[in-house]
Amino acid sequence: MSKLVIVGTVAFDAIETPFGKTDKILGGAATYIGLAASQFNVDGAIVSVVGGDFPEDYITMLEHKGMDVSGLQIVSEGKTFFWSGKYHNDMNTRDTLVTELNVLADFNPNVPSEYRDAEVVMLGNLHPMVQLSVIEQMDDAKMIVLDTMNFWMDNALEDLMKVIKKIDVITINDEEARQLSGEYSLVNAARKIMEMGPDYVVIKKGEHGALLFHEDEMFFAPALPLAEVFDPTGAGDTFAGGFSGYLAKTEDYSFKNMKNAIIFGSALASFCVEKFGTERMLSLQKKEVHKRLQQFKSLTQFDIELT
Amino acid sequence: MSKLVIVGTVAFDAIETPFGKTDKILGGAATYIGLAASQFNVDGAIVSVVGGDFPEDYITMLEHKGMDVSGLQIVSEGKTFFWSGKYHNDMNTRDTLVTELNVLADFNPNVPSEYRDAEVVMLGNLHPMVQLSVIEQMDDAKMIVLDTMNFWMDNALEDLMKVIKKIDVITINDEEARQLSGEYSLVNAARKIMEMGPDYVVIKKGEHGALLFHEDEMFFAPALPLAEVFDPTGAGDTFAGGFSGYLAKTEDYSFKNMKNAIIFGSALASFCVEKFGTERMLSLQKKEVHKRLQQFKSLTQFDIELT
């Protein structure tokens, strides 16, 4: 079975949307990435840290989903990373209410020795130095995928640039791509970012879909238009998990296969937002994914005869 | 040859974008629609009005593009409709600086008798009562396409609703769809708008593409990501012209063919924005359109094996 190393937060989230409010529930980038990747029956390992307050049930659940948790450190005297946010009515913007780093403040990632030969590495959003440390522990990675955000561009740009030099794919949103490149046009932004290191640039536009750039090629995957979005939390991580999980499963890094990875990422993300937190991803069945991929096909495929 | 009736403004525009500024140049919804539709060798008739100040050269040009101008009234003592606007740096928003209705204020459209049996009618953005008058002059229209905007929702909603009841396809932008329906989700907005009359709803999202809704079906066409957008003026009308022109040429009103019409509309609109005003559309060659359609294919087509 193909191996996939997943680095990122495992966390508590408290979320408020126009549809309701949650107490501290399971969250974190690595959690969402792992749940999405579990759809592909890959041998995924979560490299992260939690506190003594983190329920064992959650860890058991991740194991049941096929995730190796030997790289999930438990700091029994510490507290788990906590994030709280409130979404505005448009569901596209949110305010962060609370960020408590807790055990994440002193996190030193340790990739289990059996996973250091994994081909695909998914670096979820975290401090660039943590991401760099993971890269340095990998023996033979062929496809390192980086997710990051404007916070690190504002506060740790030099470190972030070191990471960007060493990766193969970067996934960021449109505003972040503009910030990182200084270019307004996403086509020009992607070109500049490719010069910084990665061969592939994925620009996430939320409800407006995602763009994949590679050399002079472009591919676009729409987001599935939904009647209701209940909670966008984790959608970007789920996208990353679907993308990297599919690559790990297929071990095919051609542009053609990257297109499929983007579509899988988009399809899985479209489920994530249907319920609060991880709820929808926990119950998700293969049959449902299959059906949604069909919807993506009929949403985008056309057949013009060019005469 | 299939007939297409085109109603809309024929105008002077003065445009300012971050890339430059124009004096009064050729503009107007019917002009852009006609230029786009001329790519399909349909027998198009422009129903509109201009003043005595409108250069004969422009009219000759439209004739050379295959447009019948017997329904283009010339009020020799009047002045042509004039619009002036300035785009912001993001190119997605603009300020209208001047709107002089001039001869448009008393416009009574008159569809030439030889065109009253056309199957496809493209109602460009104009006062709903003018659009209604054109509908009433048609003997046997099978596909009436309406373009409109928030201005008429704000100022002539009752008249607009009468028109919406009688048409087959409406094309509006995302904000206008939300305003017209009172629904934030575009899926729900489209459903409500279909209840108002049209069988097909096209929601234009500018650089984020366009959505087509029909019963329970959805189709999405992206906008081609471009390195530079010089002038968005006329892009929506060009989209409408490509859409209706393709329908007129094929006379196939199935959902499958509507998808192709949307792709053609998007492809032609992607040319329109490359230069100021109508400049790019005037020089556009069939070969270039063909090549761009190939780009749309590679941008959107994928081949996941669903096992």
Min Cα separation B97/chain A (Å): 25
Cα–Cα distance for residue pair A35/A61, rounded to 1 Å: 10
Task: Give the mean pLDDT of chain B.
Answer: 96
- Residue A19, pLDDT above cutoff 90: no
Rounded Cα distance, B95 and B97, in Å: 6
CB contact under 8 Å between B187 and A303, yes or no, is no
Question: Does residue B290 belong to the interface with chain A, where contact is any CB pair within 8 Å?
Answer: yes
CB B185 within 8 A of CB B218: no
| Contact between residue B111 and residue B138 where contact means Cβ atoms under 8 Å apart | yes
Q: Rounded mean pLDDT of A10-30?
A: 95
Give one DSSP letter per residue of B27-78, joined into a string. Answer: E-HHHHHHHHHGGGT-EEEEEEEEETTS-HHHHHHHHHTTEE-TTEEEETTS
Is pLDDT of B194 > 90?
yes
Per-range mean pLDDT, top range of A18-32, A81-95, B85-99? A18-32
In terms of Cα–Cα distance, which of B223, B187, B236, B2 is closest to A209? B223
The DSSP code for A92 is: S
**Mean pLDDT to the nearest integer, B131-151:** 97
Residue located via tokens 């990257």: A258
Whether A228 contacts chain B with CB within 8 A: yes
Give the best residue of B302, B306, B307 to mutate against chain A (max A CB count within 10 A).
Answer: B302
Query: Which residues make Cβ contacts (< 8 Å) with residue B193, sequence separation at least 6?
Result: B164, B170, B177, B180, B181, B201
Does the structure show a pLDDT above 80 at A92? no
Q: What is the DSSP letter of A149?
A: -
Tens of pLDDT, residues A111-163: 999 999 999 999 999 999 999 999 999 999 999 999 999 999 999 999 999 99
ipTM of the complex in this document: 0.90
For A174: left if phi > 0, alpha if psi spans -120 to 50, otherwise beta; the answer is alpha
Give the nearest chain A residue to B192 (CA atoms).
A227
For position A43, what pLDDT does the model report? 97
Mean pLDDT over B122-149 rounds to 97
Q: What is the pLDDT at residue A227?
A: 87
CB contact under 8 A, B293 and A303: no
- Cβ atoms of residues A94 and A85 within 8 Å: yes
Sequence-distant (6+) residues with CB within 8 A of A305 are none
- Look at residue A258 in the predicted model and tell me its pLDDT: 97
Q: Which residue of A has its CA nearest to B261?
A: A304
pLDDT band for B92, please (50, 70, 90 cuts): confident
| Inter-chain Cβ pairs, chain A and chain B, closer than 8 A | 91
DSSP B172: E
B263 to chain A: which residues are within 8 Å by CB? 302, 304
Confidence band, pLDDT 50/70/90 cuts, at residue A105: very high
Instruction: Show the tokens assigned to A190.
Output: 């992607």
- Residue A91 pLDDT level (bands cut at 50, 70, 90): confident
Longest dimension (CA), chain B: 70
**Cβ separation of A304 and B187 shorter than 8 Å?**
no
Q: Which residue on chain A is closest to B205 by alpha carbon?
A: A208
- What single-letter amino acid sits at A236? G
DSSP code of B222?
P
Nearest by Cα to A280 from A66, A58, A55, A35: A35
pLDDT of residue B305: 77
pLDDT given for residue A307 in this prediction: 59
CATH number for the region B3-299 comes to: 3.40.1190.20
Mapped onto helix, strand or coil, the DSSP state of residue B99 is strand
pLDDT of amino acid A184 = 92
pLDDT band at residue A238, thresholds of 50, 70 and 90? very high
Average pLDDT, chain A: 96
What is the predicted pLDDT for the residue at A106?
95
Which among B192, B191, B239, B195 has a CA at the least distance from the CA of B217?
Answer: B191
Q: What is the pLDDT of residue B307?
A: 59
What average pLDDT does the segment B133-149 reach? 97
Question: Rounded mean pLDDT of B168-186?
Answer: 96
Q: Is B161 exposed, middle or buried (0-12, 13-18, 19+ CB in 10 A)?
A: middle
Query: To the nearest whole angstrom, how far is the Cα of B101 from the nearest Cα of chain A?
Result: 35
Phi first, then psi: what are they for B108, rounded to 5°? -115, 105
Structure tokens that stand for A296 in this block: 């993506």
pLDDT at B91: 79
HSE-up (13 A, CA, CB side) for residue B296: 32
Task: Determine the pLDDT at residue B160.
Answer: 98
Contact B297 A304 (CB under 8 A): yes
CA atoms of B99 and A166, how far apart (whole Å): 54
Residue B123 pairs in a beta bridge with B7, B146
Section A87-97 average pLDDT: 86
Look at residue A118 in the predicted model and tell me its pLDDT. Answer: 98
**Cα dihedral B90, B94, B97, B102 in deg (nearest 10):** 140
C-alpha to C-alpha distances, A36 to A145, A245, A271, B222, nearest whole angstrom: 15, 7, 10, 26
Instruction: Locate all alpha helices (DSSP H) within chain A, ordered by sequence.
Output: 29-37, 56-64, 128-137, 150-155, 157-166, 174-181, 186-196, 235-250, 255-272, 279-283, 286-300
Query: Which three-class secondary structure string do you get for B130-147?
Result: HHHHHHHHCCCCCEEEEE
pLDDT tens track for B235-281: 999 999 999 999 999 999 999 999 999 999 999 999 999 999 999 99
pLDDT for the residue numbered B102: 97
| A35-60 tens-digit pLDDT | 999 999 999 999 999 999 999 999 99
Please state, in angstroms and rounded to a whole number, the distance separating the CA atoms of residues B41 and B156. Answer: 35
Option in B211, B228, B290 nearest A185 (CB): B228
Interchain proximity A222–B227, CB inside 8 Å: no
B188 CB neighbours in chain A (<8 A) are: 227
How far is B58 from B38, CA to CA, in rounded Å? 15
B218 vs A contacts (CB less than 8 Å)? 225, 298-299
Helices and strands: H and E segment counts in chain B: 11, 15
Contact A227 B185 (CB under 8 A): yes
Record: contact A294-B306, CB cut-off 8 A: yes
Distance CA B286, CA B267 (A): 12
Choices 3.60.21.10, 2.60.40.420, 3.40.1190.20, 3.30.70.600: CATH for A9-300: 3.40.1190.20
Band (pLDDT 50/70/90 cuts) for residue A290 is very high
- Residues B67, B61: Cα–Cα separation, whole Å: 9
Q: What pLDDT, on the 0 to 100 scale, is given for residue B227?
A: 87
